[in-house]
Amino acid sequence: MLPKTFLDTMKHSMQAQQAEFLQQGKPVFSGPAALEHFAGWWKDREKPGHIVLLCDTNTASFCLPRLMKALPADVRISEIVIPQGEKSKSIATCQQVWEQLTRLGIGRKDVLISLGGGVVTDLGGFAASTYLRGISFVHVPTTLMAMADAALGGKNGIDFGGAKNRVGLFAFAECTVCDPVFLETLPAQEWRSGSAEVFKHALIADADLWKILEEQGCTASSLPDLLHRIQRVKIDVVHRDPYERGVRKILNFGHSIGHALESESLEKDRVPFTHGEAIGRGMMIETEIGLRLAKMSAEESAMVCRVLEQHFGKADLRHYSAEALMKWIRLDKKNDGARVRMSLLTGIGRCDWDVEVKEQLILEVLMDFGAAA
């Protein structure tokens, strides 16, 4: 990096004043004024020659018009639209994005804005940070899941060979804009899907937040107050360990089993689980594993499972084979060689990481949830 001038520092602090959070020094605008702050943010920045908006077929209709008002005038703006859904998080779609960036003549000083849920922000961040060895990108998450989780923390990438997020890298958005206005058009299923990450953040690091969720649930009326609190958990953990050498792994609670379930369902089911439905079930099953390893009391784990079941339905694995799920679990990025390692609760609001879990125990628990032997 070239040395910062005094002016850069000034600008930076102006942005920082409006931002609810900073990630690696980069602003996260969050809350009902986020789009307005974003509109102002451009004034302190060198104007790009060209802005590319990456949308999916949903956000292109419902969200794009609102975003347009927050973009600078006199800049060329182009759109790339990808099909809605998890299947777009692929190397094939990524290649189409690289091709279109090339065709549009996007250069190193241009900016890509991802407008969408986790699929769009994960893919957009990856495509942008590998095109021309990296151009600047901005995340504008439009789902609860992306605002609470996917669009924060600098992880981006694609699924590969069926495995979730197999290919990707760490790169932080130059700016992240979380405006609840986009949640107004969010379908109920997407809402529930996103709330899984909300419950997860409470469970791993904020017992008081868990109490609130237990009483009020995660609804449109309670969310505006809760959003900052949820985001704070994620941003604090990422700040302590941005490249996931240690404590950041607690953010993966529920994901060792949840990702396996999501991958298997995506391959097998006509209507696959959403990310949140899979993670909700993953959290219940991993809570049970934690109980059997005496990481957590029977009372607390029963309470966690009861509340999660109310929100996400029963973790019923009758249509799945334990060995098929195990095959995906073995691919988990947190594993160490042949040893499966999970992040497991040690209480409500507390989580341990790098816990070795024997395959035999995992298989037993999966079968107790109904998976075929």
Structure tokens at 94: 């990524």
Number of neighbours of residue 211 by Cβ within 10 angstroms: 13
In angstroms, what is the minimal distance from the CB of 64 to a copy of itself? Answer: 24
Contacts 24+ apart (CB under 8 A), 238-241: 238/23, 238/152, 238/153, 238/154, 239/23
Q: Which of 167, 293, 326, 363 lies at the binding interface for a copy of itself (CB under 8 A)?
A: 167
**Is 20 within 8 Å of 31 (Cβ atoms)?**
yes
**Is 204 within 8 Å of 250 (Cβ atoms)?**
yes
Strand partners, 134: none
What backbone phi and psi angles, to 5 degrees, belong to 26?
-105, 135
Single out the catalytic residue among 164, 192, 201, 248. 248
Establish whether 192 is a catalytic residue. Answer: no
The separation between the first and the last C-alpha atoms of the chain, rounded to the nearest angstrom, is: 55
**Residues in 253-312 at the binding interface with a copy of itself, rule: CB under 8 A:** none
Q: Which of 81, 104, 331, 363 lies at the binding interface for a copy of itself (CB under 8 A)?
A: 331
Q: Which of 245, 299, 318, 360 lies at the binding interface for a copy of itself (CB under 8 A)?
A: 245
CA distances from 337 to 104, 354, 365 (A): 43, 12, 22
Under the criterion CB under 8 A, does residue 333 sit at the interface with a copy of itself?
yes
Number of residues counted as binding a copy of itself (CB under 8 A): 43
CA distances from 6 to 48, 113, 148 (A): 22, 28, 34
CA angle 55, 134, 21 (to 5 degrees): 70
Residue 281 identity: R
In angstroms, what is the minimal distance from the CB of 363 to a copy of itself? Answer: 18
Under the criterion CB under 8 A, does residue 129 sit at the interface with a copy of itself?
yes
- Residue 83 or 246 with smaller CB distance to a copy of itself: 246
Under the criterion CB under 8 A, does residue 359 sit at the interface with a copy of itself?
no
Q: Which of 4, 33, 83, 99 lies at the binding interface for a copy of itself (CB under 8 A)?
A: 99
- Residue 71 or 167 with smaller CB distance to a copy of itself: 167
Three-state SS at 32: coil
Under the criterion CB under 8 A, does residue 11 sit at the interface with a copy of itself?
no
In angstroms, what is the minimal distance from the CB of 271 to a copy of itself? Answer: 27
Structure tokens at 132: 């021309």
Query: CA 239 to CA 232: how far, in whole Å?
Result: 10
Under the criterion CB under 8 A, does residue 77 sit at the interface with a copy of itself?
no
Nearest partner of 354 among 232, 265, 256, judged by Cα:
256
Structure tokens at 344: 């497991």
- Residue 203 or 340 with smaller CB distance to a copy of itself: 340
Q: Which of 32, 134, 224, 313 lies at the binding interface for a copy of itself (CB under 8 A)?
A: 134
Establish whether 79 is a catalytic residue. Answer: no
- Residue 331 or 367 with smaller CB distance to a copy of itself: 331
Establish whether 201 is a catalytic residue. Answer: no
**Is 285 within 8 Å of 279 (Cβ atoms)?**
no
**Which stretch in 38-46, 98-106, 348-356, 360-368 sits in contact with a copy of itself by CB under 8 A?**
98-106
| Residues annotated catalytic, as ranges | 133, 155, 197, 234, 244, 248, 252, 255, 259, 275
Kindly list the residues in this chain that would bind a copy of itself in the complex (CB under 8 A). 1-2, 49-50, 91, 95, 98-99, 102, 105, 107-109, 129-134, 155, 157, 160-161, 163, 165-170, 241-246, 330-331, 333, 335-338
